[in-house]
Amino acid sequence: MATKLAGKKMLIAGEWEEKEDKIEVFNPENNELIDSVPAAKADDVRRAITLAKKGADVAADLSVRQRMDILNKTASYIEGNLEDFATTIALEGSKTINEARSEAARAAETIRLSAEEARRLKGESINFDQMPGNEDRMGYYFRFPVGVIAAITPFNDPLNLVAHKLGPAIAAGNAIIVKPATETPLSALKLAEAFMKSGLPKKILTVITGRGRDIGDSLIESKDVHMISFTGGLETGEKISKKAGLKKLSMELGSNSPAIVRRDADIELAAEATVSGAFAAAGQNCLSVQRIYVEEEAYDAFKELFLEKVKDVKTGNKLSESTDMGPLINEKEAMRIENWVNEAVDQGGTLLSGGTRDGAHYEPTVLEKVPEKAKVVKEEVFGPVVLLFKVKDLDEAIDRANNVNYGLQAGIFTSNINAALKASKKLHTGGVMINDSSDFRIDAMPFGGVKGSGLGREGVEFAVREMSEERIVCFKITE
């Protein structure tokens, strides 16, 4: 499939740079070399940060209208080159072409929303005279940019998750240094190209390609970086938090999301939504459905329907229009998942479907009767594996849903308003979807987790808030 890939160079403060040292980018489906990108080192990061400090002034001085124009042009550029963006996502990552098209369209939407949020950056007046002795004072606060933001992003949504950092950062008037996942750097470089072609002044944007273990520390520990916006795994997030020191942190981490199916649920709807939520992007999605708690009266009917629908998930070549589920990001990940499933079976779990691997492909896999201590229950599988549990009632379902170290989103299927309300109050997650699975998001809603799922919220309006700060201005009237 022909596409203009984006490698060879990285963008340092608005200038395209090459390096002799390269990182090769492979198509995970067949291990074919598709491109290469520079392997940046700590010196490159330090230089990028020095330039970004100047970029922060340039970005802050852009008027809201200029920011909006650049963001709107970038969104239109993505829309005008949608197939090219989609093919890049599908080639370097593990999404199917249909999933990649939907991600590219969402990235354009995220950038357009950022343009709209730039318009809505505002403060308010403060009544200083509420405190006796301050009758001669008046003033207001406004939002100003935090300065230099470092954004570190994962492989699984290589374009839209970068857009979720870049759009709000620019809307709020910051300079930004993006370090994309080493496995999938090309979509981020393409987005950088879109910004540069849309008139983003030099110095504001860097997309630096290099391994986290080589360049992460120099980015994270720098006192000239004022905020780290990270999306990735819990383990990496914890390492970064420990090293970051005194700076703003936004942590969008993983999960092992629950779904609850009540006896009064629409079972057809519940099965449809949870199958899609478990196997979209081969389960490599922070919102993937991993644990399904079904009330005992509905268990057998739900299980039968669920397994029927799993049979319809068409696996295979990710670039084929008819494929529903592609490979994992690499064979090593597929082998890890295979081990976790085997371990769950050894511990007493029953395999209902799947459980087989072919290279980086792993079949949609369903288990039941898995003990709580198993890794597939406690940890994030990040693969096409889902567990069914029979529970007595809603209280048991909520207790077990909460009994993990994650809390991003949850879903509950019920026609009982009281059950829905109770779940929305008692589930320890950043979001609760009623009559849908955890795997629902629009780019304009607050998005983030509790416990090991993260800190802070993304979703454009909320990210703009995190990427700006309030500055108070107070006038003392002297006459």
Residues marked active site are found at 252, 286
303 binds ligand NAP (CB under 6 A): no
Structure tokens at 199: 């008139």
Q: Is 32 helix (H, G, I), strand (E, B) or coil?
A: strand
In 180-270, at which residue ranges do the beta strands (DSSP E only) sit? 205-207, 227-231, 248-252, 257-261
Binding mask 304-343 for ligand NAP (x = CB under 6 A): ----------------------------------------
CB of 288 to ligand NAP, least distance (A): 8
From 100, 107, 83, select the one nearest 1 (Cα to Cα): 83
Among 213, 223, 242, 373, binds ligand NAP (CB under 6 A): 213
216 binds ligand NAP (CB under 6 A): yes
> In this chain, which stretch among 52-60, 132-140, 251-259, 320-328 interacts with ligand NAP, using CB under 6 A?
251-259
From 309, 311, 315, 299, select the one nearest 272 (Cα to Cα): 309
462 binds ligand NAP (CB under 6 A): no
Our CB check for ligand NAP shows the closer of 29 and 458 to be: 458
From 225, 212, 101, 106, select the one nearest 167 (Cα to Cα): 106
Name the phi and psi angles at 458, rounded to 5: -105, -160
Number of residues located near ligand NAP, criterion CB under 6 A:
30
Among 14, 28, 93, 154, binds ligand NAP (CB under 6 A): 154
DSSP state of 39: -
The DSSP bridge pattern shows strands 175-179 and 205-207 to be: parallel
Our CB check for ligand NAP shows the closer of 55 and 454 to be: 454
Residues whose CB is less than 8 angstroms from the CB of residue 394 and which lie 6 or more positions away in sequence, other chains included:
260, 262, 295, 419, 422, 423
Binding mask 254-273 for ligand NAP (x = CB under 6 A): x-------------------
Name the phi and psi angles at 386, rounded to 5: -135, 145
Task: For residues 416 and 87, give the distance between their C-alpha atoms in angstroms, rounded to a whole number.
Answer: 43
Among 155, 195, 413, 462, binds ligand NAP (CB under 6 A): 155
Amino acid at 259: A
Residues whose CB is less than 8 angstroms from the CB of residue 363 and which lie 6 or more positions away in sequence, other chains included:
315, 353, 354, 355, 356, 357, 384
> In this chain, which stretch among 7-15, 68-76, 209-217, 412-420 interacts with ligand NAP, using CB under 6 A?
209-217
Structural element, H or E, at residue 334:
helix 331-346
Question: In the range 382-421, which residues lie near ligand NAP by CB under 6 A?
Answer: 382, 408
From 63, 102, 68, select the one nearest 82 (Cα to Cα): 102
Residue with tokens 């393409």, as numbered in its chain: 190
Task: For residues 253 and 241, give the distance between their C-alpha atoms in angstroms, rounded to a whole number.
Answer: 12
Binding mask 217-236 for ligand NAP (x = CB under 6 A): ---x----------xxx--x
Task: For residues 84 and 197, give the distance between their C-alpha atoms in angstroms, rounded to a whole number.
Answer: 16
In 146-304, at which residue ranges do the beta strands (DSSP E only) sit? 148-152, 175-179, 205-207, 227-231, 248-252, 257-261, 289-295
286 binds ligand NAP (CB under 6 A): yes
Question: In the range 426-445, which residues lie near ligand NAP by CB under 6 A?
Answer: none
Our CB check for ligand NAP shows the closer of 99 and 252 to be: 252
CB of 247 to ligand NAP, least distance (A): 14
181 binds ligand NAP (CB under 6 A): yes
DSSP state of 174: -
Among 123, 201, 212, 359, binds ligand NAP (CB under 6 A): 212
242 binds ligand NAP (CB under 6 A): no
CB of 156 to ligand NAP, least distance (A): 5
211 binds ligand NAP (CB under 6 A): yes
Residues whose CB is less than 8 angstroms from the CB of residue 125 and which lie 6 or more positions away in sequence, other chains included:
138, 139, 140
> In this chain, which stretch among 24-32, 146-154, 299-307, 414-422 interacts with ligand NAP, using CB under 6 A?
146-154
Our CB check for ligand NAP shows the closer of 198 and 409 to be: 409
> In this chain, which stretch among 79-87, 252-260, 363-371, 394-402 interacts with ligand NAP, using CB under 6 A?
252-260
Binding mask 354-383 for ligand NAP (x = CB under 6 A): --------------------------x-x-
446 binds ligand NAP (CB under 6 A): no
Residue with tokens 């981020």, as numbered in its chain: 188
Query: Which positions lie near ligand NAP, rule CB under 6 A?
Result: 152-157, 161, 179, 181-183, 211-213, 216, 220, 231-233, 236, 239-240, 252-254, 286, 380, 382, 408, 454
